[in-house]
Amino acid sequence: MPQNFRSADFLREHINTTMNFYHPNCIDPQGGFYQFFKDNGDIYDKRTRHLVSSTRFIFNYAMAYLAEPNKSYFELVVHGLDYLENAHKQSNGGYAWLIENGVASDTTNHCYGLAFVLLANAVALKVGVKNAENTIENVWQLLEDKYYLAEHKLYLDEYDSQFQAADAYRGQNANMHLCEALLMCFEATNNDKFLARAYDLAHTMTVNKAALANGLVWEHYNADWQIDWEYNKEDPKHLFRPWGFQPGHQTEWAKLLLILNRHKSEPWMIDTAKALFDLALKHAWDTQHGGICYGFAPDYSICDGDKYFWVQAESFSAAALLAIATGDAKYWQWYDKIWQYSWTHMIDHKHGAWYRILTQDNHAYSDEKSPAGKTDYHTMGACYEVLRAYELEEQKK
């Protein structure tokens, strides 16, 4: 039976079935959440914790609570925050990137990680965890003191464990997720400083920097924020810093621009969102096998044809927001097309949740559905974002 992917009921049901893959299996009663799951839900590593997963599970439970207030979800938000503050947080204010057997094994201070600490605490504040506001302020101040480059209106990426030396690498990804987190901080606190900074990040990356790369957002830059076309060129499949244009990041920026547009509307936001989405889908959609490929080169040839779950999810979310913002039916067509591909290939209808990565011709690489980093925050978050857009449209009527 054909699915109505645009239906709010469908989206809510899909969130619930995805959540049920993790809950309550992911809960570690000793603290935090288990982060490594096989296709069938079996946990294959109970000792390793990654900052990104620790924060994204908090997001998942907070969003579930906002959708359906449930005391146990609230308690799990607090459970996750406790682990964040007692296990990940270091004496210098940073947060350990990796914990193994209860001990911090990688204390590199990643801006990307702090973005998710902000995001987790912003949604926690939305559900009523009052002390999350203090953490937001502390992390904001750490970012101001150590990471923010006022002359560039962007953040640097990485410090060593003691905040003594900053890496020369500059990247768009941490700035994009900070934009996302700051928008959520603004919604949670109504403090204009968060919105102003989110605006600066969005405009700098999607307008100023994109102008250096034919209207698309390149991933990698040198210390002076000039494009580094060679960074990881030999490694287009690098997990966090792949070479090439990332179609999923173009569409994710499109989504963020449309969220920004709700709070501070300017014509360039919708225009830029359209351009990023249109270019990404033009060059990355796989006409033979379906789905959106992971990366394409500056000459627009595909450099990584794999299909990642988050790329499809961010893209259907962006398509829906574009359809609503522009009234252009082609974006609903893209929404349906991306969903149909995902429904057919990326979603596990037996056990729940999305497969993480498929080959270009849609075969699984392994039975590891959800290693650290993947909590289906992207897929559930994309559904929540479409539902939010529906809700805001209803309020206008």
Is 263 in contact with 183 (CB distance < 8 Å)? yes
DSSP string of 252-321, one letter each residue: HHHHHHHHHHHHS--HHHHHHHHHHHHHHHHHHB-TTT-SB-SEE-TTS-EEE--EEHHHHHHHHHHHHH
Sign of torsion, CA 318 181 238 373?
negative
Tell me how far apart the alpha carbons of residues 240 and 219 are, in angstroms, rounded to a whole number: 10
Given 14, 110, 203, 378, the catalytic residue: 378
Tokens at residue 227, please?
């494009």
Amino acid making up residue 349: H
Q: How far is CA 371 from the centre of its chain?
A: 16
Tell me how far apart the alpha carbons of residues 151 and 148 are, in angstroms, rounded to a whole number: 9
Sort 227 into a burial class: Cβ within 10 Å, 0-12 / 13-18 / 19+: middle
Active-site residue flag, 378 = yes
Tell me how far apart the alpha carbons of residues 77 and 33 are, in angstroms, rounded to a whole number: 11
Given 88, 203, 249, 283, the catalytic residue: 249
How many CA atoms are closer than 13 Å to the CA of 271, on its beta-carbon side? 6
Sign of torsion, CA 175 180 183 185?
negative
DSSP string of 15-37, one letter each residue: HHHHHHHHTTTTB-TTSSB---E
Tokens at residue 2, please?
């054909």
Tokens at residue 250, please?
């173009």
Active-site residue flag, 177 = no
Q: What one-character DSSP code corresponds to residue 210?
A: G
Q: Report strand pairing: 302-304 vs 295-296.
A: antiparallel
Catalytic residues: 249, 378
